[in-house]
Structures are given as structure tokens and as C-alpha cells.
Amino acid sequence: MSLAVAGVTKRFGGIVANRDISFEVAPGELVGVIGPNGAGKSTLFEVVSGFYRPDAGEVRLEGTRLTGLSPDHICRLGVARTFQKLRPFQGMTVLQNVMVGALTRTHDVGAAREQARAILERVGLADKAPAFARTLSTGQRKRLELARALATRPRVLLLDEVTGGVDQRSIPGLVRLVRELHEGGLTLMVIEHNMRVITAVAQRIIALYLGEVIADGPPDVVARDRRVVEAYLGQAYA
Amino acid sequence: MGAVPQLVVSTILLGGIYALIAVGLTLIFGVMRMVNFAHGEFVMLGMYLTFWAFTLLALDPYAVLVLSLPVFFAMGLLSYHGIMKGVVNASHNVQIFTTVGLSIALQNVALVLWTGDFRFVRTGYYSTVVRLGDTAFNVPQIIAFAVSVAFTAGLFAFMRWSYTGRVMRATAQDRDAAALAGIDTDRVYAHTWSIGIVCVGVAGVLLAPIYPVYPTVGLQFVLIAYVVVVLGGLGDMLGAVLGSLIVAAVEVVGSYVVGTAWKEVLYFLLFIGILVVRPAGLFGQRGAERLGA
Amino acid sequence: MTGRALPAVVFFGAVALVPLVVRDAFLLDGLILILLWGSVSAAWNVAGGYAGQVSLGHAGFFGLGAYSAALLSTRWEASPWLGFLVGAVLATAAGLVIGYLSNRLRGPYFVLATIAFSQILLIVASRWRGFTAGSEGIPVPFRPGFWTLGFVDKAVWVYLMLALAVLLYLVQRYLERSRLGYQLGAVREDEDAAQSLGVASRRLKVIAIAVSAALTSLCGGFWAQYVGFVDPFYVFSVDLSVRFALASIIGGMGTALGPFLGSLLITTLEIYLRAHFGGIGAGLVGIYLIIYGCALILVVRFAPQGLVGWLGDRLPRLRTAGAGS
């Protein structure tokens, strides 16, 4: 169950958002992706999930080429994602939101409903099932986004900013959830700004800066990497 | 070979007028990200204004031109504050239906007040023809063209060099950044909308001596205007001008080749063709159509 | 479940009872038109309300249906039912083409494409003298009998239109509860997010448009048979397309009963105004259109959920939570 990214480059006009990015994710790994704003993290996720076509390079899931396929096809092949700017289906209830994900794997509406309920239970939103998605708080929306993606039974899950915008008290719960998913065998890539969170859950961190990979290794090693420190804090601190 | 100079002249004359209508439309879209389906109705109102001024007050259409500037600016402000302001930040569908509703209301106000009879503004010089070599054109067409060009050029100059123009362009690029920079986006929108309406009202005044005036006359012009702005790229003023020439050429040459009955099919096919092949327009930003904005 | 079907049962039940009580041809005619316009709007709703593909070119499909019925009746003296079938096939094909061509277009671009489509059909129909009798239109002859839909008694038309309306209501209800419906709803709400969840949005949009097209054309066919005359400038007009959308918007886009409630309101108003002002001058008839225009502006701004939403807020038991759950 591995995700292989090879030489991915993506340009927007004059800006190179991703430059020759390569790495592999082994089955069951939890890889954190860090980098200052504009480093190209979200762009990378967009390329992997099929929303952007890279100008060069390719992405493979267990050998199957994902590059060039539509986002929905890629999801059906096993890659799910959440969005940094949360996108719940506002006019539908929480349960219905998750059912949409479940319906990718089953044609039976009743079965999808049961699966959705189970997932909501797992992420702690069971009591919110009949509520409209637009009534949820940010932390709850994050959980909904996660639940929806999980409903598609992915092999690889891309989480874009799990704790961004969430109040302090809700963070440990979300972190615990991510860890549980990982322990359950799911392969995860997590973009995260909160260093405490990411070093707590990730076994490996990839650091991006100005579109390039500047470090790739265990959290403690990456955190001390000269280039990483420079990128975040400026040359004076390196 | 004899037909070519005439075709060229006709194209340029027609293109000038289309440009004036299209420029207003694309300006509104560029700054406000709104598609104005009621645009054609303001052309219609401009035509009626001219007709009634001419019929009741014996005012020459070109005198009405001067009068129309404040009248349409006021109409623009009124319709902005009364209707458009409330939906500036709403979804596309809401904006579309709002302007569609406005379009229906205006068409039928005209119908109720002035009946569906075709009206004509026949000035003394209406049928005077000017001949230049192999080409012939009549006076109202030339005047319409000249004034359109002058007006459009004036608009470009305004956008480029005046403070308001620069503020409008800034808002067009990034409305949030503009607001953060202290620009009163509401005022910018009010001005943009009103300027767009003035453009199209003036176009109506210029067209009155040339075309018949009736309540639904706006529809044909607005559809042409849409083909032009999509061709040129929604929001791109220069694109609108160039697009006007292309559409005028298609129409003129098309009429010549397949006859006037089928020429409209040509530019609709052109329209669909552009939407399929390069929806962002010849000069627009690639991918703009996927954002729907 | 029954709680939500109740309003529809009441509505359609009431309609079914009317011909038993009312004999006046004028009133029955009004009822027939309410049901017919409601049905077309419901067909529009499949694409516009449920799938979020707002089109202002549905008159194109309506006209295809009307012309198919008219031409098959007049030129080949075939049964109008055959005309309906042909119209549906043509409209489906047109829907697939338009859906496919405008697949990547969103928002106003899509709307413009649909308008262009209906205008092309208008021009073709009004100029092709040899085939469609051009701008003169086609009168549909009245041939007595069941299979030719030649009914003297208006009551029969009421029940026929009621059947059509119920069919369209059920199609929409199916959409609300089926897998297709959930996926279309997701596309409507946020196409990118839907894609990220595995919804084949591009294919579904085309399907929604094609289905909507076929149903619209069916209504167009019935309309042609009932009214007896097909005029290209009316049947392919943008005004008509807007009218289809209007009933759904006012009644409640994306709800099954909305189009019918909207049609009830709009058609009644129109008939009333026509009756009262028709004699004085055609100009005054335009008043109802002014009202529509203003209503459209007000409804999309202040009551975007339409009548159904408005009623739902006031009568919680009637609240429809979008797709059934």
C-alpha cells in the first residue's frame, strides 16, 4: 500500500509551487508535511489527489499511475483527502454528508446510512447526525470532513491541517483520533503547522520550502535540520 | 474583390458599437464578478429615451447623448443601491436570477408603458449616404462609430490614469486586498456598475437612429455582447474591443455569405465553440471558467 | 416518511377531486396549465434544483418535444405518443451533447451556454421553412380519440396532466432518496468536494441534464397537443426558460413539491391578470411579467428556499431535510 511521488513539478505562471518533489510512503506510515506558508504543501496534496495535473513527474499508488486521472477516480482507487478550507455540504445534514462518502463504496443507501452512523460514532459526532452541516463549529467540521473522507474507505488519507482554527481544548481529541486511525493501519499524510501535534504523531516528517523538499526523516532529526530552522526562523537562527 | 472594402468598413462600424456595449458588461464582471443579464435592457432604455426626446421635445439624438450621461449614471446608482448591492456577495445563481428578474421587469415596464409597437427615430440626415471609393455608409452609423470609439477610448484612459480607475482595477484584481487597503469597495461597485450602465445607455442613444426601438430589442444586443465578452475574456476590456471586431466580422461576412437569416446561428456556434475550446476567451486567464468567476 | 409525503398527497388529492366538482371549462383549463407548467418546472428542477445545473435554455428541450409532437402529427399523421417518444430521444441526445460540451463550465458560463443552445434551435426552427414551416409555426390538428389525445372533455386532460405531474413528483422523490440523488446533491453543494469523495461529478452532471431534457420534452409534447399550436418564437424563448426556473425557485428549488406550488402561484396570477386586463390591451398583460421579475429578485434574495422552505420553517412537521434520512 505505498504512495510513490516522483519528480512532481507544478507551476502557476511564473511561480513554481512544487519543484521536483520525490518521496515514497510505506504502508501504514504516518508522514507529517511541514513548511512555512507558500511552501507548496497544499499544492502537493492537490496534485496527489488529482485536482491539479503536474507539469512534470508522476504519482503512483501501489504501482498504479494516478497522474492524469480525475479526482473521483483517484478516490475510488483509494486516496482520500480533506481540505484546508473546510467544505462541508452545507445544505445537507451531518449524516448525509458522510453518506455521500459511503455511497462511493456501496450502492445501497441503507447500508451507507449504517456505515455513516458507525463512522460518526468513531469520530465523536454521533449526536450531531441529524443536524445540518452548516450549524457545526470549526472543530466539529474538521471531524465531519475527516468522517466523510473515512467513509470512502481509503488506503491513503491526506489530511490538510487537522488542527488549524480549532480551539485548544479540542486539539487533544483530534490528535487522539488521528493516532487511532493510524494504529488501525491507515496510511496517512498530514499537513500540519502545529509542531507539537505533528512531532507527537508522526514517525517521519517531510519539510517543504519554496516548493522543494528540504528535509525528510524522523521528527527529531528534521526539527534540528539547519535548512528547516532557517526556513522557519530565518538565517540568524540557523 | 469589390465587396471586401465594404465588408471591412461595415465590420469596423458595427464593431465599434458592439465594443461600447461589451466594454460596460466586461467592466462590471471584471470588478464585481457579476454577470449582468439585464444589460440589454439599458440599451433599450437608451433607445426609448432618445425616441421620446426626439418625438416629444424635438431633441436631436446627439443632444440627448449629453443628457443621457447623468440620466444613466443616476439610473445606475439607483439600481445598484436598490437591487444589486444586496447580492454582490451572494452565490452566482442568486446574482444571475436577480439580473434576469430585473431584465424581465424592465422589458415589461417598457411594454406596458409604451406598447410593443416598433418605433423609429428618423432624423433628417438618416438616409444621407457617404461614399468613399467602393464603400458606402450612412451618417448615423458613422457618428455612432465615432462616438463609441471616443467613449471607449475615454473609458480606457479613465481606467488607466484616474484615481477611481486605478481603484477599480485594484478591486478587480483582489477585492479582499483592496478592502484591506482601505478602499471602499461598496463605492467602487456603485461606480463600476453605474459606468457600465452609462456605456450601455449611450450605446442605446447612438443606436436609436439606426435600429427600430421596441421593448425586447435589448435581447439581441445582450446576446451579441455576451459572445463578445466571452470571446475576449470576461473582465478583459481590451479583449472586449478585439472581440467586438471579430464578432462584427463574423456577422458581416456571415451575412454576405449565408444571408442575413442564418447569420445569428454563426455567432452562436462561435459562442459555443469558444465555450468548449477556450472558455476563458482569447485573452482571458486560463481556467477562469472553472472557478465560475 | 408519511409526514413528508402528506402535503403532496393533499395537493394531488385535491386536484383529483376538482373535476368532480367543477365543470367550468375556464377553471379546468387553468388547472391543466398549473399542472403542466408545474411538471415542466419539476423537470427543470431535476437538473437545476437537484444537480445544481441551473439552465436558462430548457426551452430548447421543451421546443424539441413540442415540435416532435406537432410534426409527427401533421406530417406523418402518427400518434402523438410516438411524437413524445421521438421528442424524448432527440432531447436526450441534445441534453447529452450540451451536458458534455459544457461539462467544465460553471456558474454564468454554463448558463450562457444553455441560452446559446436554445437560441440556435429557435433560429433553426424559425428559418427552416421546408421542414418546420418556419416562423409561421405549426398548428396541431385536433383528432378525436384516445391515442390521438383528442379529448373534448377537459376533465380528461386534467387527469392526464395529473398523471404527468405525479410522475414528475415521484421522479424527484426518487432522486431525494437514491444514491444518484445523494451524489447529485453533493455535486450541487460543492463539486470539488464531491469529486474528492469519489463522486463522478462530470458524468453525473451530463446524466442529470439528459434526464431533465427528456422529461422537459415530454411536457413540451403534451403542451403542443393541448394548446394546438407551436410557435417557434414562443416555444424556444428565453422567457419560457426563465419561467420554468421561476416556478421552482418560488416554490422551492431542490424540493419535489416546490415546482408545483410555485406553478400554482404563478399560473393563477397570470390567468387572473390575463382575464382581467386582457381585454383592455395586450400591454397591461405585461404587468404579470413585471410582477414575476420583481418576485424573482425578491425571492432569491430573501427567501432562497422558496415557499417550501418558508412553510417548513413555520410548520416543523412539514420540514423536508433535503434528501431523506
Q: What tens digit of pLDDT does each residue of C8-39 get?
A: 888 999 989 888 888 888 888 999 999 999 99
Q: Show which of residues 254-283 on chain C sit within 8 Å of chain B, judged by CB atoms.
A: 281-283
Q: What's CA B214's distance to the chain center, in Å? A: 17
Contact C283 B116 (CB under 8 A): yes
Of C105, C116, C249, the CB nearest to B279: C105
DSSP label at C135?
G
B131 inside 8 A of chain C by CB? no
| Nearest-neighbour CA in chain C from A141: distance (Å) | 14
Cα-only R_g, chain A = 18
Question: How many structural domains is chain B composed of?
Answer: 1
C186 inside 8 A of chain A by CB? yes
Question: How many structural domains is chain A composed of?
Answer: 1
- Could you count the other beta carbons within 10 Å of the beta carbon of residue B33? 21
C94 close to B198: Cβ distance less than 8 angstroms:
no
Over the range B46-73, which residues count as b (16 or more CB within 10 Å of their CB) and which as e? bbbbbbbbbeeeebbbbebbeebeebbb
Mutation target to probe the C interface, by most C beta carbons within 10 A, among A81, A84, A100, A114 is: A100
Q: Is B282 exposed, middle or buried (0-12, 13-18, 19+ CB in 10 A)?
A: middle
Contact A109 C193 (CB under 8 A): no
Q: Is residue A133 part of a domain?
A: no
Q: How far apart are CA B285 and CA C223, in angstroms?
A: 44
| Nearest-neighbour CA in chain B from C282: distance (Å) | 8
Supply the DSSP string of C265-312, one letter for each residue: HHHHHHHHHHHHHTTT-HHHHHHHHHHHHHHHHHHHHH-TTHHHHHHH
Q: Which residue of B has its CA nearest to C106?
A: B292
| Nearest-neighbour CA in chain B from C157: distance (Å) | 31
Mutation target to probe the B interface, by most B beta carbons within 10 A, among C115, C297, C301, C302 is: C297
Q: Which residue of C has its CA nearest to A99?
A: C182
Of C199, C202, C254, the CB nearest to A100: C199
A79 inside 8 A of chain C by CB? no
Contact C198 A49 (CB under 8 A): no
Contact A107 C179 (CB under 8 A): yes
Q: What is the pLDDT along chain A (238 residues), one digit of tens a residue?
A: 589 999 999 998 888 899 999 999 999 999 999 988 888 899 999 999 999 999 999 999 998 999 999 999 999 999 999 998 889 998 899 999 999 999 999 999 999 999 999 999 999 899 999 999 989 988 899 999 999 999 999 999 999 988 877 888 888 888 888 999 999 889 999 998 888 888 888 999 999 988 899 999 998 888 888 888 887 766 554 4
Over the range B248-275, which residues count as b (16 or more CB within 10 Å of their CB) and which as e? bbbbbbbbeeeeeeebbbbbbebbbebb
| Strand partners for A5 | A23, A59
The C-alpha cell at C103 is: 461539462
What pTM was estimated for this model as a whole? Answer: 0.87
C294 inside 8 A of chain B by CB? yes
A52 close to A6: Cβ distance less than 8 angstroms:
no
B94 inside 8 A of chain C by CB? yes
How high is the pLDDT of residue B177?
79
DSSP label at A116?
H
ipTM: 0.90
Residue type, B17: I
Measuring CA to CA, which residue among B18, B24, B23, B30 is closest to residue B235? Answer: B30
Q: What's CA C134's distance to the chain center, in Å? A: 25
Which chain C residues have a beta carbon less than 8 Å from that of B36?
none
For B290, what's the count of Cα atoms within 13 Å in the CB-facing half-sphere? 10
Which chain B residues have a beta carbon less than 8 Å from that of C120?
265, 268-269, 272
Q: Is pLDDT at C44 greater than 90 in this prediction?
A: yes
Contact C322 A92 (CB under 8 A): yes
Mutation target to probe the A interface, by most A beta carbons within 10 A, among C196, C199, C205 is: C196
C232 close to C123: Cβ distance less than 8 angstroms:
no
Which chain C residues have a beta carbon less than 8 Å from that of B111?
283, 286, 289
How high is the pLDDT of residue C262?
93
Q: Which residue of C has its CA nearest to B261?
A: C127
Q: Which residue of C has its CA nearest to A132?
A: C321
Of C56, C289, C297, the CB nearest to B102: C297
C43 close to C247: Cβ distance less than 8 angstroms:
no
How high is the pLDDT of residue C89?
96
Q: Is pLDDT at C210 greater than 70 in this prediction?
A: yes
Which chain C residues have a beta carbon less than 8 Å from that of A148?
197
Q: Where in the sequence is the domain holding A41, given as residue range(s)?
A: 3-87+155-237
Contact C119 B269 (CB under 8 A): no
B30 close to B235: Cβ distance less than 8 angstroms:
yes
User: In angstroms, what CA-CA distances link C271 with B110, C41, C266?
Assistant: 21, 18, 9
- Output the domain CATH number for residue A172: 3.40.50.300
Which segments of chain A does DSSP mark as H helices, in order? 41-48, 71-77, 94-102, 109-123, 138-150, 171-183, 195-201, 219-224, 226-233
| Strand partners for A18 | A10
How high is the pLDDT of residue C322?
42
pLDDT band at B200 (very low <50, low <70, confident <90, very high): very high
Of C178, C194, C321, the CB nearest to A100: C194
Contact C120 B268 (CB under 8 A): yes
How high is the pLDDT of residue A144?
94
C120 inside 8 A of chain B by CB? yes
Over range B257-270, report the average pLDDT.
79
Of C109, C116, C249, the CB nearest to B279: C109
B182 close to B120: Cβ distance less than 8 angstroms:
no
Mutation target to probe the B interface, by most B beta carbons within 10 A, among C115, C132, C280, C296 is: C296
How high is the pLDDT of residue C285?
64
Contact C182 A109 (CB under 8 A): yes
Q: Is pLDDT at C323 greater than 50 in this prediction?
A: no
How high is the pLDDT of residue C73?
85
Contact C109 B289 (CB under 8 A): yes
Q: Is residue A208 part of a domain?
A: yes
Q: Are strands A15-25 and A3-12 parallel, antiparallel or unpaired?
A: antiparallel
Q: Is residue B241 part of a domain?
A: no
Could you tell me how many CB contacts below 8 A there are between chain A and chain C? 96
Phi then psi dihedrals of residue C55, to 5 deg: -120, 140
pLDDT band at C314 (very low <50, low <70, confident <90, very high): low
Contact C283 B83 (CB under 8 A): no
Which chain B residues have a beta carbon less than 8 Å from that of C282?
115-116
Over range C65-74, report the average pLDDT.
90
Q: Where in the sequence is the domain holding B119, given as residue range(s)?
A: 14-223
Q: Show which of residues 235-264 on chain B sit within 8 Å of chain C, judged by CB atoms.
A: 261-262, 264
Q: Is pLDDT at B148 greater than 90 in this prediction?
A: no
| Nearest-neighbour CA in chain A from C121: distance (Å) | 33
Of C182, C197, C322, the CB nearest to A75: C197
Q: Which chains touch A (3 or more CB pairs under 8 A)?
A: C
| Nearest-neighbour CA in chain C from B135: distance (Å) | 30
Supply the DSSP string of C180-198, one letter for each residue: HHHHHHHHHH-HHHHHHTT
Q: Is A236 exposed, middle or buried (0-12, 13-18, 19+ CB in 10 A)?
A: exposed
C194 inside 8 A of chain A by CB? yes
